Structure 1
Amino acid sequence: MKLSRSLYIVLMMMPFIGTNSFGQNFDQIKQYKANFSIAVKGTDKYLAIRSFVNKTQKYLLLVNTETLDTKVDLAGSYNTRSLKGPEIMATFKNSPYIKSLQAAATKDLQLQNAGIDHAIPKEKGIALTIDLCPSHKNLDRIIFQSVFDEFKKIEQPAPIAISVSGKWMLKHQDDLNWLKSLVQKNELDITWVNHSYHHDVNTLPLAENFLLAPGTNLDVEVLENEKLMLKNGLTPSVFFRFPGLVSDQRIVNKIEAYGLIPVGSDAWLAKGQQPNAGSIVLIHGNGNEEIGVKDFIQLLKNKEADIKNKQWLLFDLRQGLEKEFDQ
């Protein structure tokens, strides 16, 4: 029996569900948990950080500890062995993934901007991160269109990282589908960063605000957000961005215990911070940061000549850390 071309393509895609594939939405997830194991398939070795069941199939969320890429795949395709914290560090100790976790932990005492805040120091360009916090306003699509328009002749797809919150996804399906369409059209290469489920903010001091608010349930903020990402066809990355960039040592340790690398920023444009070579730039694309959006558009205009001459590029956050720590 011959398969139609479209059915053949679907079947070929099923064993590997990559970061930018939107072919499968996991809408019946059960038993979703942080579950660490070494996963081996032929000569390939991964760190599995999550396991879950969708319908009747068991899946793993896998990390390539050398490239920091993630993918979802059928658990039955791998030989697995459970790992505990010290075993994870020992097994993958020389990898960019473990070195990134260790680097992030060196700034865990900061109340704001803990984690990795600078990457690719020897390169000309930036890593662009766009936060989508809960908002009743529409997506600032001009940011993404401007990125594509400026870089399409020299860097396609253009790499960016989007920090997405659960409440934003729930209320902005049209905008989310539009972002996914840019990936499908090869205009953007998006790394999806966990930005917590609720992203609550209150009127208390920072030490009791955002995820530091009393009663915060991190399993909900981290794992439920990942489940919602998977339901929407997004593969969670290894990165986590704290709401408001607010954290303390205790919560940084807990986030890393989920296997996630905290990512800050040394160039939050709306706060007047100017990017340097290798900066992790932060802007909000949720309609609530008009100044940051204008500053970014102006930054692209100022760098127009350098962009055309490939002297100022966008860098994939994963590849930047791989370069930094692959020694």
Structure 2
Amino acid sequence: MRFWIGMLFWAGVCFGEIVRYEPLSLDVWYQGRFYHAFRLLEESSAQSYLAFDHQTLQAQKIPLQEAKIAPGAALEDSLYKKMMREAYKPPRLLANDGLKSFGGESHYLSVDLCPSRHKGFEERLWTLLEARQKAFPVIVCVSGRWMDSHKEEWAALIQKERQGSLEILWCNHTYDHFYEKNLPLERNFLRHESQNLSKEVLQLEKRWLKEGILPSPFFRFPGLISSPSLMQELQKLGLIPLGAQAWMAKGEIPQKGGIILLHGNLNEPLGIDLFERFLEENQGAHFGGVKEMQN
């Protein structure tokens, strides 16, 4: 099954002061399309839904009064519902739960931008992608703290998207991305007692909205570490968790249809080296993105 996903990054939508922002789950009909409304947004005196198109996953801001309630049962075969079902299939895993492949013949590149003490980012990677093809498709998983400490790099990525040198799908990677190196995985990342998944997700979404960026339906757990309760909470937030078929820095080999994981924050240069070698040895490899996926 082939499908097309429109640009989910730069919507050019203007947002005022956000006075109310909360999760919901509601299927609606708007301008001839079915949408899944996942957030209620109130700005000053105006209320809107933030929603994903059921078939294209295109994000949309919908005025509350213009949306009509749609029968959810009729949408069970939509792309959004199918991806949600696939992502949340049991069994639950401590590490790397969620979608790891979109299927088909393409590879899908994802780049994580976790908080980092390193200044700058992987210029070598972006140059490599831009040289390979125009508008190289890439899923960029961003954390809020990386954005805060790398304002110039964040602006540069936005510019690359606007100029069309990269086709970026922004993926929520939490705001704080908690990690403590001395803790076991079972009590680390979002599994730590201090963490609140919903707060982390919504805080980053609101940050994006202030910059005119509509959230995408995708989420990546920090460290790829989750739990059954975290997966249940994420499902209620209406987001699709992305795992990885090939974490390059761990020496895993990319397979067709699979999601490749790199770190673009200078934390794993080995992964960039191995990815560059993969490109050299697989000149004919095709990379899919937001315009073309198979399932």
Q: Do these two structures clear the TM 0.5 threshold for a shared fold by scoring above it? A: yes
Distance 1:69 1:294 in 2: 33
Q: CA RMSD in A?
A: 2.1
1:221 CA displacement? 0.9
Matched, 1:79 2:67: yes
In structure 2, the partner of 1:196 is 174
Mapping of residues 23-172 of structure 1, within 5 Å: 23-24=12-13, 26=15, 28-76=17-65, 78-81=66-69, 88=72, 90-120=73-103, 122-123=104-105, 125-137=106-118, 138-152=120-134, 157-172=135-150
Q: Residue 179 of structure 2 contacts residue 188 of structure 2 at CA under 8 Å; is this kept in 1? A: yes
Q: Residue 22 of structure 1 contacts residue 180 of structure 1 at CA under 8 Å; is this kept in 2? A: no
Q: Deviations over 1:139-188 (max 9, x none)?
A: 21221221111113xxxx22111111111111112111111111111111
In structure 2, the partner of 1:174 is 152
Distance 2:41 2:225 in 1: 30
Distance 1:35 1:319 in 2: 28
Residue type at the aligned position of 1:126? H
The verdict on how the C-alpha distance between 1:18 and 1:296 changes in structure 2, with shifts beyond 3 A counting, is closer
In structure 1, the partner of 2:3 is none
Residue type at the aligned position of 1:193? C
Q: Residue 166 of structure 1 contacts residue 225 of structure 1 at CA under 8 Å; is this kept in 2? A: yes
SS at match of 1:216: coil
Distance 2:184 2:204 in 1: 25
Pick the structure with greater CA Rg. 1
Matched, 1:216 2:195: yes
The verdict on how the C-alpha distance between 1:219 and 1:21 changes in structure 2, with shifts beyond 3 A counting, is same
Residue type at the aligned position of 1:243? P
1:54 CA displacement? 2.8
1:97 CA displacement? 1.1
Q: Residue 30 of structure 2 contacts residue 68 of structure 2 at CA under 8 Å; is this kept in 1? A: no
5+ residue gaps in structure 1? 1-16, 307-311
1:295 CA displacement? 1.4
1:58 CA displacement? 2.5
In structure 2, the partner of 1:6 is none
Q: Deviations over 1:44-93 (max 9, x none)?
A: 221111121234432321111112222334434x2243x8xxx74x3421
Q: Residue 150 of structure 1 contacts residue 300 of structure 1 at CA under 8 Å; is this kept in 2? A: no
Distance 2:216 2:97 in 1: 18
1:25 CA displacement? 5.6
- Percent of residue pairs bearing the same amino acid type: 31
Distance 1:265 1:18 in 2: 22
SS at match of 1:215: coil
Moved more, 258-267 or 64-73: 64-73
The verdict on how the C-alpha distance between 1:91 and 1:214 changes in structure 2, with shifts beyond 3 A counting, is farther
Q: Which has the higher helix share?
A: 1
1:107 CA displacement? 4.2
Matched, 1:315 2:282: no
